């Protein structure tokens, strides 16, 4: 189990691992392209080599790319869906060039479509298109959502259904899941006590399967359980609290996870969040 944070790559992609080192992180996550839109910085052989070298020297061998925010596989607009498919495939290839272990994305919202089954079919078909012919090394992860509006992926059963459809078409390219603690809490899955964590993990295991989850966005929640609002808070300062994160960090079946903090962007507090996770790792839940 490794702990880190989402870091900035402003000024050049090489700054992402450098910023992770400054936070005393063991892993990190970053945007390889502008999250709100715009051209992606070119990754040539020299940049890829230098990026990998910095990570190796800094002992940051496991890290992830976060896809841009505008991705929407559920849109009824074919242009938006095709752009999403193209960008995510590019991000997988860019991740493979840089040595990223994972690339995760939100699935989007189908608020303009009334039929939920139709939305899920559209999303599944889009994800199958993304993976068609992909031979890279970066694993594709879908992120659990907070459930606001018609966002896809708030329920474990919904994600499990998508994975089952995709697996039928892409047996050689297994897709995984990124478990965001705040999103899950906002979607009604309690994580605030040891008992609640055990119950929620049992629900995951019976639907998605714990073996399909490879990393977590470790975020406390500004809002209450089942709020359906995406509002991150620093660890121990929100509605999930210390006990919940202590139980997650020390669970024996989660030791392969990366825990990446996405709390409000205050460098001092981000460093404290990482230190807290390291401290909890040494305790027994």
pLDDT value of position 118? 85
pLDDT given at position 110: 77
| pLDDT higher than 80, residue 149 | no
Q: How far apart are CA 200 and CA 215, in angstroms?
A: 16
For the stretch 59-86, what's the b/e string if a residue is b when 16 or more beta carbons lie within 10 angstroms of its beta carbon?
A: ebebbbbbbbeebbbbbeeeebbebbbe
- Rounded distance between C-alpha atoms, residue 10 and residue 269, angstroms: 20
Which residue range(s) make up the domain with 81?
A: 2-281
pLDDT-derived band at 285, boundaries 50, 70, 90:
very low
Across 136-163, average pLDDT: 93
Residue 113 is predicted with a pLDDT of 62
Residues 6+ apart with CB under 8 A from 229: 146, 148, 186, 222, 223
pLDDT digits 0-9 by tens, 164-201:
999 998 877 789 999 999 999 999 999 999 999 999 99
Question: Which CATH number do you get for residue 48?
Answer: 3.20.20.150
How many structural domains does the chain have? 1
Rounded (10°) CA dihedral 33, 36, 37, 42:
-10
pLDDT at 267 over 70: yes
On the question of pLDDT at 15 being above 90, the answer is yes
| Predicted local distance difference test score (pLDDT) of residue 232 | 96
The residues, ordered by sequence, that sit 6+ positions from 175 with a Cβ below 8 Å of its Cβ are 127, 131, 139, 140, 141, 142, 163, 166, 167, 212
Model confidence over 33-61: pLDDT tens digits? 999 999 999 999 999 999 999 999 999 99
Percent above pLDDT 70 for the chain = 98
| pLDDT over 80 at 241, yes or no | yes
């Amino acid at each position: 189990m490794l702990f880190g944070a989402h870091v900035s790559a402003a000024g050049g992609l090489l700054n992402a691992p450098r910023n992770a080192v400054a936070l005393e992180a063991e892993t990190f996550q970053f945007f390889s392209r502008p999250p709100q839109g715009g051209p992606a910085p070119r990754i040539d052989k020299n940049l890829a080599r230098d990026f990998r070298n910095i990570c190796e020297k800094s002992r940051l061998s496991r890290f992830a790319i976060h896809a841009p925010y505008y991705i929407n596989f559920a849109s009824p607009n074919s242009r938006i869906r095709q752009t999403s498919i193209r960008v995510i495939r590019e991000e997988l290839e860019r991740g493979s060039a840089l040595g990223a272990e994972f690339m995760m994305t939100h699935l989007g919202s189908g608020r303009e479509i009334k039929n939920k089954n139709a939305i899920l079919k559209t999303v599944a078909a889009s994800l199958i298109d993304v993976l068609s012919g992909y031979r890279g090394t970066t694993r594709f992860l879908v992120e659990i959502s907070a459930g606001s509006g018609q966002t896809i992926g708030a329920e474990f059963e919904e994600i499990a259904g998508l994975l089952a459809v995709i697996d039928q078409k892409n047996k050689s390219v297994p897709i995984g899941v990124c478990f965001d603690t705040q999103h899950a809490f906002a979607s009604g899955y309690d994580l605030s006590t040891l008992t609640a964590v055990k119950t929620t993990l049992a629900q995951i295991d019976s639907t998605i399967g714990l073996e399909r989850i490879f990393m977590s966005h470790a975020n406390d929640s500004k809002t209450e359980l089942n709020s359906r609002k995406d509002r991150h808070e620093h660890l121990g300062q929100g509605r999930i609290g210390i006990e919940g994160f202590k139980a997650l960090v020390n669970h024996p079946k989660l030791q392969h996870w990366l825990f990446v903090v996405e709390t409000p962007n205050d460098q001092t507090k981000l460093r404290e969040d990482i230190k807290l996770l390291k401290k909890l790792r040494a305790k027994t839940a």
